[in-house]
Amino acid sequence: FGVQPVADLGLLVAMRRFIETIRISESILDYVVDVIRATRERPQLVFGASPRAATMLAMACRAYAALQGRDFVIPDDVKALAVPALRHRVVLAPGAEIEGLTGEAVIRQIMEQVPAPR
C-alpha cells in the first residue's frame, strides 16, 4: 500500500509522557468539569458527556497547548477543543432534534454560558 510509519512505539510513549508534563491549573480543570457537568444538566441532551470525557478533554488541551508551543493550558484551549472533543459524546433529545438543534450547537451554547477562569 505504500504506507510508511512516521513513529514507532517508543516515540509515541515519549510524546505521551511529554504531554503529561504540560501544566493544567486547578482552575482550568474545574472549568473542564463545569463544562462536562453542564452537558449533563441540559434538557436538550438525553445523555451528556461522561467523567471520562473530562479526562480526555483535559489531555487534548495539554496536547493542543504543546502544539502551540506552550508548557501550560489556557482557557482558550478548552474553548477551541470542546466542540470537536465532545460532540460525539452527547446524545441529543428528540425534541431538540425536531427544533433543528445539533449536539454541536448545544455544546457551543454551553461554552458561551459556562464562565472561563481568568
Q: Which helix (H) or strand (E) holds 66?
A: helix 51-67
Q: What is the pLDDT of residue 19?
A: 96
Q: Give the per-residue pLDDT at 67.
A: 96
Which pLDDT score is estimated for 45?
A: 96
- Categorize the per-residue pLDDT at 51 as very low, low, confident or very high, splitting at 50, 70 and 90: very high
72: Cβ contacts below 8 Å, ≥ 6 apart: 22, 23, 24, 25, 65
- When pLDDT is cut at 50, 70 and 90, the band that residue 66 belongs to is very high
Answer left, alpha or beta for residue 39, where phi above 0 means left and psi between -120 and 50 means alpha.
Answer: alpha
Cell of residue 95, nine digits: 425534541
How many other C-beta atoms are found inside a 10 Å radius of the C-beta of residue 17? 9
Inform me whether the pLDDT recorded for 99 exceeds 80: yes
Could you tell me which residue, 12 or 97, shows the higher pLDDT?
A: 12
CB 81 within 8 A of CB 60: yes
More reliable by pLDDT, 93 or 1:
93
pLDDT at position 77 over 80: yes
The residue with cell 511529554 is 18
Check whether 1 has a pLDDT greater than 80.
no
